[in-house]
Structures are given as C-alpha cells and as structure tokens.
Chain A
C-alpha cells in the first residue's frame, strides 16, 4: 500500500488506501480511497449527505483521526506530513478549514480578534499577528468590519471572516465544507468569487464541497463525486458532467447541462454556463442562416 502512495512531484495531498470507520458505527464511511491533488488545483467535491465527503476532508486537516475516535487505515500525506502522526496545530498551518455554518466558527467578540484567534493559539508575536490580520482583512475586503461584533454581520460576511481567520495562518490548502449551503445564491456567488480570487492571488489549493455545481463548475479543475465512501467519478468538469449520471449520486445537475444533453450538438459543445451555451446557439443560428438560403 505504502508503495503506491509515494508522493509525486508538485503533489500536495496524497491519499492512499484510506479507510475509516467511526467509533460505534457498523459501516466504513471511507472505503479504500486513493486521491492525489496537485498544488494549485481547485477541486469540487460532490455527493449525497452521508456519502463520506466531509469525513474525507476531515482526514486531510487531521480532525480525523485526531479528534474523532474510530478505525483508521491507509495514509494521508499533506505537504510532506503524514496526517495521522502530525499534531492538529501543525496541520492547522497547512490546511485551512471552513465549515458549513458561519455562526459556529466565529468565537471572539470582534472580527479582527477572531481573525487573530489561530495566530494567538500558535503563539505568534503580537506585531506579526497585527500585520497578518490586517493583510487577511485586506485580502478579503473586510477591513471596514474590523471592529464589528459577530451579531452585526450578515451570513456572507461571517463566512468571509471565517476565511480570513484561516488565511491569516497562511495555509497551502483551503478546504470549504458546504460553505454556501446556508447562503442565498447571490451571496454564494460572491463567496465563490472570493475563493477563486484567493486561489489566483495566493496559488492556494482549494477543495470545496458544493451542491450547486452551476456555481462552481466554471472554476473547478476537477470534480470528484463520492458515494458510499468511494470515489465514483473524478475528472475535469465537462468530462464528469457529460459522461456520467451524477444525478444518481445526489448531485444537482446544472440546468444548462441538462438542457445541452437534450440538444443534438450539446454533446460536442459541452457548455457549463448559460453564457457558453448562448454563444454556441447563436453560432448555430448564424451557420443555419448561411446554409439554408442555398
């Protein structure tokens, strides 16, 4: 097993033969998972609730196995560190983790205090905390919220604060576990843009769980579909969306993809946004105009 999971070049996450069973549970929640992630990738993780996707992500930042008891086998290597034998606090500087509920990941009484929370825990000197917190607020465009209390923030703002708190620790990997599921689509779209900008400016590797593929398909390098603890599909968005029955695994297919599958030219054009499909249709109409008068 360990032979297979040798880390390749430019590889930041290497998961080899990972299986996991929560204490007291009869079934394996992860079944012999192999996954390699290159530095700088954006990966969308999809699947039903209970498919094991959250467990997989928790195995990358060390919440599993360190904070949950259960049967763990296989190996997860993150930026050269074997997760099962690395302390949570060290992993926290490699992997930033954003949870679903914005309310439950802000602890302190003001935004800037909260962003500094992780750095304080690591014992970073005060001056550096100040610099990094300012930088993180700047990066996420929330400088004006610095002294607000949590209850004075909207849900979208709370998620940005949470991301800032994680980014301040300068992780190489950012994991977002259904970060938009409690947000309205407009706010969700804004958050996805924030994630993309972070990726573009910091070169950070992103793993994001998101049901609304229409929001994230365009920024993803790969989509991974998980069901019953196994990786069912993994590949570029167009490949996964057009060559598989993702809806069987609880993934809401983007309307545009469902439509394109009904169109005779859709399977060559593979559009994943309404802009793309609109352009393709207009091209067809033009073509038809050239052909039919003859």
Chain B
C-alpha cells in the first residue's frame, strides 16, 4: 500500500494550476546530523514560483534544517532536493545563494564589515556583479531600507532593529528569486513587524517566491500564506492557512498555538476565519448587531 493514498488533501498540499512552475522540490528527504540524530524524516514538498509559504513549528521541529537544504547549506542524507531543476548535491551554496537568499534570525551572526555600505557590497562582489551594478544595487538597498544615513557607519553600531533591516537589505540587494526569512520577527517591535509585512507584500507583487520560517502566528496569519506545519522533523500538514490552522488536532500535535482570531472564531463555532481584524469586525457586527 502506498501510504500517500491514505493522505488527506491537507497532507498532500494545496492544489496548484498545472502550468505552475515548480522551482523547489523535496523528494522524500531524510537528513541526519553528523552524530546520527535524525532532523528531517521523509520530507516531500514542492514550491512554485511566486508562492508565499510559511513554515511553522516549535523550536527544534526541523524548520531551519529544512530551509538550509534549499540553498545547499545542507544536503540530504537520503532523497533528493532540486532547486530550479538542479540537484543540490551538484552545486554549492555559494553558487545557489545567488538565486536563493536567506535572511538568518540573528543579525549578529553575519555583520562584519567596517561600514554598512561595504556590508551590502560583500554579497554583490562574491556573486561577481560589475562595479556599475554593485553601485546601483547598493544605492537601491540603502534607499529602500532607509539606511542612507548609516551608509558609512559600522554595522555593529546600529540598533537591533536597524541591523535586522540591514540583513534584509544586503540579501535583497542581489535580487534572489527565492527569499527565505528565518524567524524574521524575533526581537522585533510592532513598527518593525509592520515594515516586514510591507516588504513581503511588495515581493509578492513582484511574483517573487517567499518562504517565511516562523513561530509567530499572529504575524503570519494576516498574510494568509500557504502553510506547512512541521513537528519532529516531519511535515504533518500542508495547505492554505485556513485549512492548516483550522485543523485543531494537527496544530495541537505540532504544539503551535492558534492565532487569536482563529481561536475566537473556533470558540463561536464559525469555521469561516477572517484574515484580519477588519474582516473580523465586519463578520461580528453582522452576527451580533445585525448587518445593514
């Protein structure tokens, strides 16, 4: 018996248009750490161009291990990962990162230059951009992320929020086709989270593929991404945000808390979840006060 036959639609993933171009595919991927601890177990996943995917799970569920396979930082112990049709075993992360940009959780783990400007230029130089293009992209990054006034200051002197912004800027500077954000909201205040939402929306409008690894469900819910739920190295649900967050059992299994709006509507036994507070207010007003 093929076990996939028994899987519900939820586990198989969201339906896609047949002509959607798959750019990331995991085929039955296992990954074990050098000491033998299994970190990914039978992971299958495919992502199409332009999708917004949220990967949810507690610390240690395997989210970070999974995304590190997409730019070949890690390579599967068993199974196959292909990105833009290339098996990651046949390339290096230094090459693949040109197309797959990862913004890591901890900004302090990468900033080293003597100025914000040269920090941004580092990647562009590594990827062999021409000097003219380096200048142009650096200017763009400084402008877009509001970092002009810091251009000549050492990154170490920036505040936590500014450092995080710089990390986003220095990756987006080389315009990767896939952007991966690893826990982008950790340690960020409300204003910075708003900016992040804006950035993701802009990238979506440019049909860029964005993968967000997060445990911040309040942050991700209004974006209504395709949602992949992980626990103990396995994907246990993959579908629309409403589908995945709506399956209370799976969420419990993964120890992921529900967004407050979902919790609220569950308590009212309404499965039509609003994406944001405005929709919620409309729905509630109609119920409790009587619509116009």
Contacts and interface: CB of A to CB of B under 8 A. Distances in A.
A284 B287 CA distance: 9
28 contacts: A48-B189, A49-B161, A49-B189, A50-B160, A184-B215, A185-B257, A186-B58, A186-B255, A186-B256, A187-B58, A247-B190, A250-B189, A250-B190, A251-B189, A252-B189, A252-B190, A252-B218, A255-B261, A256-B264, A262-B278, A262-B280, A262-B281, A263-B285, A264-B289, A274-B261, A274-B263, A284-B289, A285-B287
Of A181, A184, A251, A284, chain B has the most CB atoms within 10 Å of the CB of A184
A288 B289 contact: yes
A80 interface: no
B277 interface: yes
B87 to A, nearest CB: 32
A187 B59 contact: yes
B60 interface: yes
A274 B58 contact: no
Contact of B59 (A155, A214, A262): A155
Contact of B190 (A182, A251, A264): A251
Interface string A259-285: 100111100000000110111011011
B20 interface: no
Interface of A: 48-50, 154-155, 181-187, 189, 211, 214, 247, 250-256, 258-259, 262-265, 274-275, 277-279, 281-282, 284-285, 288, 292
Interface of B: 58-60, 159-161, 186-187, 189-191, 193, 215-218, 255-257, 259-261, 263-264, 267-268, 277-278, 280-281, 284-285, 287-290
A285 B161 CA distance: 43
B261 to A, nearest CB: 6
Nearest to A178: B187
A53 to B, nearest CB: 12
B257 A278 contact: no
A103 to B, nearest CB: 12
Given A259-B277, A281-B287, A292-B290, A184 B260 contact: no
Nearest to A287: B288
Contacts of B160: 49-50
A255 to B, nearest CB: 4
B264 A189 contact: no
A154 B60 CA distance: 9
A155 B60 CA distance: 10
B189 A274 contact: no
A259 B255 CA distance: 25
Given A154-B59, A259-B281, A274-B267, A185 B216 contact: yes
Contacts of A252: 189-190, 193, 218
Contacts of B58: 184, 186-187
A277 B256 contact: no
A258 B222 CA distance: 13
A284 B289 CA distance: 7
B64 to A, nearest CB: 12
A203 to B, nearest CB: 29
Nearest to B217: A185
Given A185-B257, A214-B218, A263-B284, A288 B189 contact: no
Nearest to A252: B190
Contacts of B59: 154-155, 183-184, 187
A259 B284 CA distance: 10
Contacts of A282: 268
B215 A185 contact: yes
Contacts of B218: 214, 252, 255
B123 to A, nearest CB: 26
Nearest to A279: B267
A253 B193 CA distance: 12
Given A189-B257, A284-B288, A284-B289, A278 B281 contact: no
A187 B191 CA distance: 25
A253 B256 CA distance: 20
Given A214-B260, A250-B189, A288-B289, A281 B268 contact: yes
B167 to A, nearest CB: 16
A255 B222 CA distance: 11
A199 B43 CA distance: 43
Contacts of A277: 264
Given A185-B217, A262-B277, A278 B268 contact: yes
Contacts of B217: 185
B284 A281 contact: yes
Of B218, B284, B289, chain A has the most CB atoms within 10 Å of the CB of B284
Contact of A49 (B187, B259, B261): B187
B277 A274 contact: no
A211 B101 CA distance: 28
Nearest to B214: A184
Contacts of B159: 49-50
Contacts of A186: 58, 215, 255-257
B190 A256 contact: no
Contacts of B284: 259, 263, 281
B280 to A, nearest CB: 5
A250 B259 CA distance: 20
A183 B187 CA distance: 11
